[in-house]
Structure 1
């Protein structure tokens, strides 16, 4: 979008000093396949704010899909532009605004199954942009400027806020969630981080804060996520509804109501505007920083838009940064794009000094951090049951470039490290495979799939036994890659031992294509997997191609039949992160299908 010149009437309205706007073009390298559903609001239609005849004849009509929280403000700007007959290159501007959850739009665009009927998208966070890019078939999107921001906070009803020392006492994220959850002192709820940028950013901030405390931070964060999951709402609108609006549900005697929720400042502003007395919330702003929702203006299918449409869209983005629009956004509880706090907005939302509501926001969490946070969340919400199947063919002895270690050595270390991301209730087993490894079989079960926290005969935990088995893996000198038979056998075993209520999956790690000429063919394997796949007992195959000789497209084609997918790593040290990504993606795909 930066290549476009501004439409001819840029200076026609607005003016004055405007806060700097940020170009938001960095996106998150994670994929989630999420549920698609219909829109949740009706946009202003012609007739209510009709054009004059001359304007109607020249109007450029645009449709805009907008995060529900900011939709009323954007719709007000669009209505005013229609009423004032605002023009772009001589054409009147008519923008129809519809509200829809950002995760739903991201899924629709990522799937690429149909051409969207809108030209503009305004999600609540730029973390959705890369999810919308999918894995190759997605509708093209062009990120533009952020038009507003809102910090992520914790909203607390008066009685619970007082018990936590609000507003004088300040906490880090880890301290605040720890204090809120201590002995069920405060019932804390959250929107699903897989469907809510607010929930995900808050959970990532909690994790970063826990890391600074030192000690077993992973365990503490997983415990926090587990407790949040027990009071989880599908989305931001639903989690706000768990708060009392008039004080009637704020007392301890109503366990159905939350006393605190992870919420944006703007959502608290809107809630307080509709609430009375003890129904209003106070806001805690953690002293280690409040991440921002940033509302990136995004063009959809720009290459298929006419010149008039793309320039009209750019004109509307510019309009949203002008003084009159900034006032409208402020009136709806939003901050400017640089995150500067407005005392009136903060006060209406429930912020009070000395809460650090005006402190500089921390840097946005990295792609890797968000990916790991989502992976941890998926595993925590629904305990995992994974059969890990590791290639033990001779090629795994190949030295990794830049390291004095073999593929197998680096793979083993990465698997042991990945174990730290799983809880004692997760179940993991281990197979290895190479041609003629066990008589005529290309595969061998080394450790049965069981709870990591279970006590093993002779002492020690299953986690310790599995870590030792990972460490003992060795390449079979003359072994070739017996991939197809192994996939089928491990899939059938995972189906046979399926545990309801857990995320069941088979994780295959291979550094090559199938080399067993006696095995089932690829087409026959795919047909067999299709035939035995059971939607009531889903077992996605998560296939990780390790090294340059591995065929990611081949394993992806096979894995997709089961609801899983294929992934590629050039360095086995990346396996830990990719396992989390694969679990997260497949886990959310399964949940969205429910």
Structure 2
């Protein structure tokens, strides 16, 4: 018999871990129990690398250890499982790099990071974001949930009691009202581009804000800004902002509410803090952490077989009790022996209640469009930059858009720019141009507002956008791109991401302008890696030439985005801004 060995290791960077999970190394030569319990006809070895969300890793490790002690094998071959306790954002960066995806806020993968065979992140939203982020061929196997933790609003118990907790049922709308009141509740969030519980809370809060009052846009932006003031990159930093003393002054000055998982609250309270946290299960229920078991594409058939058997181990009824020891529920929303539920928690211990309406599967109930819009809106509302917005006003922009109640392409584009402008805070520098052919004398472009701080020219930009009208000209794309690039580069700001966002519904159509070859040659000549200017080109309709746009952005950095449906350019605009990088 060839001996297998099971080990658990920490794959968490020091900045992202409260405490690294201990390393467990078991070999047949050094662990008597394994020798006694392993199947006698097991031979060879299949190495299976499994990356698991930190809080779930001990339960998976214990189950895998027991499995190996009982003779883990498939087809007579021994199975050697390595469990890595891993922050989901770090694995997501590795998988994104491997599959060519770009995820706003996630950053670059470590140079030494290796993609696992099986990944169990804390939420199916990670799998969905990878697909919508450009990993079109990313199609992991299985994806079923093996655990669950509701996303709650964590709140110091004295504050929660004032709101009627735990007897009173509270809603996300009521929270939005508190956040946007004259005496706002101090809220915080773990950056939702990097944390699934933060993303779930953001989705619930922005959905509620959109329906809470007479001005949904204002309420949504207000909620985003309120969260941004108390944001943290990692959970441990956020929970450290909760009150550390019982006196009213300390409580009033400390963090008053944050979206966390139920497991986070239980873990926090287990340390007997001076001010315990209440877990508020707001209505409607947020997307829970569902811990999908994702078999990553491209693994060998033997490993895939081993992964299938391990999944059976992790869905055996006995695994629910291992989850309970980690303050986690089973995938159906119920819990095992030893689980200590927070006051007001839904689902009785060991009961047969139906799972929450969000579902226990992977991403079936998730709306990829809503997730993408929430992530993009957050990124824009919490970053700053220096941006020149350019809108095509050629004659074809008067075409009607059936999906937008027959508004023109021009009207739809301007509306998208206006919504984006509302998300930018006063730290941004924004300018506005329009372009066609011979729009300003012999020039194809016209400056409506020069690039400047929004703090002093927001009203001017709003007025200029409202006055944008289509011309009868053609599309002077090449001359405009070159002039815009030079203008942004001339006053390049090292403290900002310097970029151009240009909307157009056609390819270059200017007999008197420069050629494509001239444009590309001049861009190559003036491009300066020390002063990068990213160019984002948003094409609208079927007449746009994607290759033409890509040839430009391959030189400048940024990227082309093309949609057949002009009504979707608002979402594309948000995504394009959110994905800008600090360098090229």
TM-score, normalised to structure 1, is 0.79
1:571 and 2:557 correspond: no
SS of 2:471's partner is coil
User: Is residue 400–residue 407 contact of structure 1 (8 Å, CA) maintained in 2?
Assistant: yes
User: Is residue 387–residue 449 contact of structure 1 (8 Å, CA) maintained in 2?
Assistant: yes
CA shift for structure 1 position 286 = 0.8
Alpha-carbon distance between aligned partners in 1 of 2:378 and 2:394, rounded to the nearest angstrom:
34
Which has the larger displacement, 360-369 or 429-438? 360-369
CA shift for structure 1 position 469 = 2.4
Instruction: Give the counterpart of 1:124 among 122, 125, 129.
Output: 122
Instruction: Give the counterpart of 1:44 among 15, 18, 24.
Output: 24
Q: How many residues are paired up? A: 540
Alpha-carbon distance between aligned partners in 2 of 1:276 and 1:148, rounded to the nearest angstrom:
26
Identify the residue that residue 551 of structure 1 maps to in structure 2: 545
Alpha-carbon distance between aligned partners in 2 of 1:307 and 1:550, rounded to the nearest angstrom:
43
CA shift for structure 1 position 316 = 1.0
Q: 1:49 to 1:323 in 2, by over 3 A?
A: farther
1:339 and 2:327 correspond: no
Alpha-carbon distance between aligned partners in 1 of 2:520 and 2:284, rounded to the nearest angstrom:
52
Alpha-carbon distance between aligned partners in 1 of 2:336 and 2:283, rounded to the nearest angstrom:
18
Instruction: Give the counterpart of 1:489 among 483, 488, 497.
Output: 483
User: Is residue 151–residue 201 contact of structure 2 (8 Å, CA) maintained in 1?
Assistant: yes
Q: Deviations over 1:298-324 (max 9, x none)?
A: 11233xx32211011111112111012
Instruction: Give the counterpart of 1:475 among 460, 471, 474.
Output: 471
SS of 1:308's partner is helix
Q: Deviations over 1:16-64 (max 9, x none)?
A: xxxxxxxxxxxxxxxxxxx9x9996565334375853857743321001
Alpha-carbon distance between aligned partners in 1 of 2:269 and 2:407, rounded to the nearest angstrom:
59
Identify the residue that residue 366 of structure 1 maps to in structure 2: 367
CA shift for structure 1 position 546 = 1.1
Identify the residue that residue 61 of structure 2 maps to in structure 1: 75
Identify the residue that residue 23 of structure 1 maps to in structure 2: none
Aligned Cα root-mean-square deviation (Å): 3.8
Alpha-carbon distance between aligned partners in 2 of 1:84 and 1:356, rounded to the nearest angstrom:
32
User: Is residue 129–residue 368 contact of structure 2 (8 Å, CA) maintained in 1?
Assistant: no
Identify the residue that residue 199 of structure 2 maps to in structure 1: 200
Instruction: Give the counterpart of 1:352 among 341, 344, 352.
Output: 344
Which has the larger displacement, 275-284 or 135-144? 135-144
CA shift for structure 1 position 292 = 0.8
Instruction: Give the counterpart of 2:523 among 524, 528, 533.
Output: 528
CA shift for structure 1 position 74 = 1.5
SS of 1:150's partner is coil
SS of 1:82's partner is helix
Alpha-carbon distance between aligned partners in 2 of 1:505 and 1:82, rounded to the nearest angstrom:
54
Q: Deviations over 1:231-277 (max 9, x none)?
A: 21113344344446xx558874489963543210012222223x115
Q: Deviations over 1:117-136 (max 9, x none)?
A: 42111111111113334425
Identify the residue that residue 46 of structure 2 maps to in structure 1: 60
SS of 2:332's partner is coil
Identify the residue that residue 103 of structure 2 maps to in structure 1: none
User: Is residue 155–residue 283 contact of structure 1 (8 Å, CA) maintained in 2?
Assistant: yes
Q: 1:176 to 1:482 in 2, by over 3 A?
A: same
User: Is residue 167–residue 353 contact of structure 1 (8 Å, CA) maintained in 2?
Assistant: no
User: Is residue 56–residue 92 contact of structure 1 (8 Å, CA) maintained in 2?
Assistant: yes
1:445 and 2:431 correspond: no
Q: For structure 2, list consecutive stretches of 5 or more residues without a partner in the other structure.
A: 1-12, 101-110, 359-364
Alpha-carbon distance between aligned partners in 1 of 2:218 and 2:452, rounded to the nearest angstrom:
19
1:142 and 2:148 correspond: no
Alpha-carbon distance between aligned partners in 2 of 1:271 and 1:499, rounded to the nearest angstrom:
43
User: Is residue 250–residue 257 contact of structure 1 (8 Å, CA) maintained in 2?
Assistant: no
Alpha-carbon distance between aligned partners in 1 of 2:267 and 2:330, rounded to the nearest angstrom:
17
Q: For structure 1, list consecutive stretches of 5 or more residues without a partner in the other structure.
A: 1-34
Q: 1:376 to 1:359 in 2, by over 3 A?
A: farther
Identify the residue that residue 111 of structure 1 maps to in structure 2: 97
Alpha-carbon distance between aligned partners in 2 of 1:121 and 1:65, rounded to the nearest angstrom:
5
Alpha-carbon distance between aligned partners in 1 of 2:525 and 2:343, rounded to the nearest angstrom:
55
TM-score, normalised to structure 2, is 0.80
Alpha-carbon distance between aligned partners in 2 of 1:176 and 1:165, rounded to the nearest angstrom:
13
Alpha-carbon distance between aligned partners in 2 of 1:96 and 1:526, rounded to the nearest angstrom:
52
SS of 2:436's partner is strand
Identify the residue that residue 378 of structure 1 maps to in structure 2: 379
Identify the residue that residue 258 of structure 2 maps to in structure 1: 261
Alpha-carbon distance between aligned partners in 2 of 1:266 and 1:359, rounded to the nearest angstrom:
20
Identify the residue that residue 432 of structure 1 maps to in structure 2: 434
Q: Deviations over 1:297-354 (max 9, x none)?
A: 111233xx3221101111111211101222211221122223246796352xx33379
Which has the larger displacement, 436-445 or 408-417? 408-417
Q: Deviations over 1:419-459 (max 9, x none)?
A: 55555665543212233433443322123345667578xxx
Q: 1:240 to 1:68 in 2, by over 3 A?
A: farther
User: Is residue 437–residue 444 contact of structure 1 (8 Å, CA) maintained in 2?
Assistant: yes
Which has the larger displacement, 549-558 or 264-273? 549-558
